[in-house]
Chains A and B, each alone.
Chain A
Amino acid sequence: MSDFQLTILNKLGQLGEIKSTLEVFPSVESQDVLSALNSLKAHGKLEYTKHDIMHYDLSKEGQEVVDNGSHEIVLYNLINDLGKLQIKDVMSKMGANGKVGQARAFKNGWIVKNKENELELSEKVKSSTPVDETKILLQQIAKNEHSDIDAKVIADLKKRKLITPRKQTDYSVTKGVDFSLELTKLETDITSDMVVSGSYKDAKFKPYNFNSQGLPAASGALHPLNKVREEFRQIFFSMGFTEMPSNQYVETGFWNFDALYVPQQHPARDLQDTFYIKDPLTSDLPDDKVYLENIKAVHENGKFDSIGYRYNWKEVECQKLVLRTHTTAISANMLHKLAKNPKPARLFSIDRVFRNEAVDATHLAEFHQVEGVIADYNITLGDLIKFMEDFFAKMGVTGLRFKPTYNPYTEPSMEIFSYHEGLAKWVEIGNSGMFRPEMLESMGLPKDLRVLGWGLSLERPTMIKYKVQNIRELLGHKVSLDFIETNPAARLDEDLYD
């Protein structure tokens, strides 16, 4: 505690209250007074009220008036001494002040002008010397006794540049609830020592500023894309789906295309769209030779009620190695395995796929595909529609519509649309369909075991959820670590498409 704080307490103790700190501590700077008062107030020692008061200082001219009388009284005395005075001589006798004195003296009715253009004293003041009001006012103000002077008069003096205003802050101080002559230190925190010793009971605590966020928590964080992936996984698990072994990026032309009934001249197989691999260069053919023969037949001449694409199918196209363009390559592999022991199945995967695309704000050469597959006996398109409604409802997306579309390996194919409130239009949120019999029967699956599939990208709902505009700022090295550190939980069911 500073000495001054103690001085304040002592003074307050003596006087009971301090009406004006300006009076009691005239030599202490206003800021120092305030900081001492605040500090004491925080301890409950005192309460104070702030008053702004105006103070007026005499100008140099004002001081002259106090010392020598006002200009009008100087002129009065001059005329009184000389009897009369030529107007033109006023300036020569009194300098610049003469003009003011003459004007004021006229106004006061002290002087008159005779026919010879000379100034004489008026009848009113011939007998008795007039009172010098201006001087008296200024003397009052110099003594800081201006409170009963009319505001107009003060304004007039200001205008005459006899006084200059100065604002001063004053405080009136009364005793606080915890008034005493000494000060205890305020504690900022409860320490373990206080808890153990119980000293917190007598300690005084500095009040907290609750209008603050506190310190940032030191923590690690998971990537938002993986958080959304986990949401999808939980939806799949809740609906009885088993995760497929999608950890196989390198695929053969066979599994990525031929098995899915994508003809060998299909644009998707272009170098423009698919990453081909030069090392290693060629794959083996699948072990299941019956399957391979079926695929050849169903492409080339037709089989299983299909007329086929009717072209020369080449094994060498099957053996080209590619980076998979869709996880459906894995689904095909799993369905082929299922054909060994056909039964209903539910499978899903969420994993990376690769496209030889030009990169921009919405396209990357690699991204994640969410894919679900349902195999069951005699399932219908209505089953698929209902299932999609259930699936998307789990992430809060309802009111779906289905649009006919074309995919090489599904027939019927349905694009899934949901109404986007923000964009005020229907937006595509996924693609789905029944796998073609050419694909399934080639594997050896029975005719009545139908397979539904659907897919969507993982990035798109994540970008919507986390309001990311550029896919490169989500997947890949251009992500901001600040974004990763601060991203909220994914919670797909919470207004996904708001």
Chain B
Amino acid sequence: MPTVSVKKQQLFDLLGKNYTNDEFDELSFEFGIELDEDTTEEALKLGEEPEYKIEIGANRYDLLCIEGIAQSLNEYLGQSETPKYKLSKPTTKLIVDKETELVRPYCASAVLRNIKFTKESYASFIDLQDKLHSNLCRNRTLVAMGTHDMDTVQGPFHYRALPPKDIKFIPLNQTKEFRADELLEFYKTPEQKNNLGRFVHILEGKPVYPLITDDNDVICSMPPLINSEHTKITLDTKNVFIDITATDRTKAEIVLNILVSMFSRYCADPFTIEPVEIVSEHNGESRMLPDLTERKMQVSIPYINSCLGLEQTAEEISASLKKMSLHSVQSKEDKNMLDVSIPITRPDILHPCDIMEDAAVGYGYNNLPKSEKMSNANFISSPLPVNKISDIFRAASAQASWLEVMPLTLCSHDENFKFLRVEDDNTNAVKLANPKTLEYQVVRTTLLPGILKTVKENRKHTLPIKVFETGDVVFKNEKLERKAYNERHWAAIYAGKTSGFEIIQGLLAKVMQTFRTQWLPDFGAGSTGRGYWIEEDESLTTYFPGRGAKVMFRSKEGEKSIAIGSLGVLHPEVMKNFDVPYAGSFVELNTEVFL
């Protein structure tokens, strides 16, 4: 969730009241934003102005600046009406070249005429652009915006796409002219890398770069990277030309609407926006922007009442919705319907359920009638069978004096293979594409690495160390939709001065007995019924040669026996690889055979 910093006193002035933190907390809570931090204490020390850090919903772009937060809260409190946004006469155009399709096909534009910035509103204007860039615009990949002093340029404007070598201009906050390809290199230097360098990848390798120019080929901006120094806006700028370029048309217009709805309040004619005619003949996208038309959505009154557990009239619901900036009247055609107008500041409303939610917030979540209906419903519960099997393993192991551990599922490739003296034949393990550390390269295919790491961390513990885990390993399987599946394993270790093989063997016997599975002598030959035995297996290279065996299981009379796991004395190299200075024995089974 995004966090917005607002000057405390400025916010209180806009709300017409000095709130205590408790009061503001309470207001935020009911409205659905969160007071994260009050910086007063810190600010007083540093001689700065105290701020509130307010966490807002990730879909409420209209709350990304103090203007929007104050507007919405004032409407929620019934202290303000939703502004009526108006268009004035257009005076300029933005003409789109077909080449822009190669790099960034959509654009939008508007003019804020006769605006008067203060220090605060100017800072907020810049800050909102940053917030939008990093949230909705996905770090400028989807949308980027530029704002220009319109009195430095001459319309109509052009949205073009040119080869980098043909673009030369002085970028914002620089003194010398750069060629576009050189500019990208400049932004990749260590000083710029973490700043504008973060967006270089969006243009890198493209045959043409997008460009906004005026009618005299004066460059306004090279989106999504940088504006030109020439058109830089200042506190004294009177007329602001906004350019928006995008790969996502919907989001381009949302960004434009948010910018103009938040800052047209500072124009000489408040909430009036000068539109720009977008001329885009090659793709039939010619239109006048911004489009301030309020969206209409019909919502069923019984639907809202049914979801909220209320019996409200159309007027009552409308009153709740009004607090949330949604204006509604009962439909003339259908008494059961509410005609809702959605202002341009609320692109988050996608479905009647979003209106239903606002009706609930307007009413107050904590005022809703609590219903007893559900608590009395009759359902038959049941555990997941594999979890039930796990619990039997867990109880038996703990009863046999082993300690349960819960290591991580993810481990390094070496831990799952090389350290266990096992080759990766690429048939089993699921591998991660983008782990942040080497610790998380593969999803384990055995419980052993986690158990050995736990023993290592606890090597000062009294000996012997006896721990077990019941957990999932993951194997690849091409035939499945998800190409991989979990398998529930159980494993236990004995680590100490001696290997304790017979102790681990005894634990296996105890667990098997718990599952009504008796040991069969002579490697299964002694009986044809249900049972288990162990068979030496030289292919188990994790164990010391001659000390490793597979666990064989026959589920019932006449069934074929299958290997369900292994046990053995861990190879000293394995112990060393995990920094465990002890001898040890280990057993691991696939528990799902007992399902």
Contact = CB atoms under 8 A, between A and B. Distances in A.
B495 to A, nearest CB: 11
Given A306-B350, A475-B406, A406 B430 contact: no
Given A305-B351, A479-B406, A379 B381 contact: no
B167 to A, nearest CB: 28
A249 B486 contact: yes
Contacts of A411: 351, 353-354, 356-357
B234 to A, nearest CB: 33
A53 B351 CA distance: 99
A310 B454 contact: no
A385 B377 contact: no
A252 B357 CA distance: 30
A404 B357 contact: yes
Given A265-B248, A280-B478, A354 B403 contact: no
A304 B370 CA distance: 29
Contacts of B433: 271, 275-278
Interface residues of B, number: 100
A223 B404 CA distance: 5
B574 to A, nearest CB: 16
Contacts of A69: none
Contacts of B308: 380-382
A450 B382 contact: no
B87 interface: no
Interface stretch (B274-282, B327-335, B392-400, B516-524): B392-400
A267 B138 contact: yes
B408 A221 contact: no
Nearest to A219: B401
A406 B374 CA distance: 24
B252 to A, nearest CB: 11
B58 interface: yes
B515 interface: no
Contacts of B436: 356-358, 365
Interface stretch (A15-23, A172-180, A237-245): A237-245
A287 interface: yes
A376 B156 CA distance: 58
Interface string A269-306: 00100011111101111110000000000000010111
Given A247-B488, A265-B142, A412-B356, A450 B407 contact: no
B339 interface: no
A222 interface: yes
A243 B383 contact: yes
A366 B408 contact: yes
Contact of B474 (A233, A249, A365): A249
B403 A283 contact: no
Given A250-B474, A477-B454, A321 B309 contact: no
Contacts of A222: 394, 398, 404
A426 B26 CA distance: 11
B403 A382 contact: no
Contacts of B397: 220
A220 B400 contact: yes
B105 to A, nearest CB: 11
Interface in B325-349: 348
B368 interface: yes
B307 A484 contact: no
A67 to B, nearest CB: 69
A271 B482 contact: no
Contact of A240 (B348, B378, B399, B404): B378
Contacts of B352: 305, 437
Contacts of A354: 409-410
Nearest to B394: A222
Interface string B425-439: 010011111111100
Interface stretch (A57-65, A138-146, A386-394): A386-394
Contacts of B399: 220
A403 B483 contact: no
Given A248-B486, A250-B482, A479-B406, A279 B375 contact: no
Nearest to A244: B384
Contacts of B476: 279-280
Given A240-B377, A278-B433, A475-B408, A481 B383 contact: no
A241 B381 contact: yes
B380 A404 contact: no
A414 B480 CA distance: 36
A365 B408 contact: yes
Nearest to B469: A223
Contacts of A307: 350-351
A242 B379 CA distance: 9
Contacts of A374: 374
Interface in A205-253: 218-223, 225-226, 233, 236-252
A383 interface: yes
A414 B365 contact: yes
Given A413-B357, A481-B461, A265 B138 contact: yes
Interface residues of A, number: 105
Contacts of A414: 365
A484 B405 contact: yes
A382 B397 CA distance: 44
A403 B365 CA distance: 7
Interface stretch (B9-17, B28-36, B147-155, B176-184): B28-36
Given A374-B374, A381-B308, A365 B410 contact: yes
A30 B488 CA distance: 71
A287 B488 contact: no
Given A383-B374, A403-B29, A321 B408 contact: no
A52 to B, nearest CB: 46
Nearest to B34: A403
B387 interface: yes
Nearest to B408: A476
A128 interface: no
Interface string B477-508: 01011111110100000000000000000000
Contacts of B29: 401, 403, 417, 426
B89 interface: no
A221 B483 contact: no
B361 A404 contact: yes
Contact of A346 (B379, B387, B443): B379
B486 A484 contact: no
A376 B476 CA distance: 36
A482 B459 CA distance: 12
B240 interface: no
Interface in A94-144: none
A236 B381 CA distance: 8
A286 B405 contact: no
Given A346-B379, A380-B308, A404-B31, A275 B350 contact: no
A379 B354 CA distance: 17
B467 interface: yes
Nearest to B355: A411
Contacts of B465: 481
Contacts of A387: 374-375
Interface string B530-545: 0000000000000000
A71 interface: no
A406 B58 contact: yes
Nearest to B397: A220
The 3 A-B pairs at the shortest CB distance, nearest first, are namely A404-B32, A240-B379, A380-B309
Given A365-B436, A366-B410, A426-B29, 10 more contacts: A225-B406, A242-B382, A250-B484, A305-B352, A379-B374, A380-B368, A382-B370, A387-B375, A434-B353, A482-B461
17 contacts: A220-B399, A220-B466, A240-B381, A243-B383, A252-B482, A265-B248, A321-B482, A344-B377, A356-B434, A366-B408, A382-B369, A386-B375, A404-B57, A434-B353, A477-B453, A479-B406, A482-B461
Interface of B: 1, 29-32, 34, 57-60, 135, 138, 142, 248-251, 306-309, 348, 350-354, 356-357, 360-361, 365-366, 368-375, 377-384, 386-387, 394, 397-410, 426, 429-437, 440, 443, 450, 453-454, 456-458, 461, 465-467, 472, 474, 476, 478, 480-486, 488
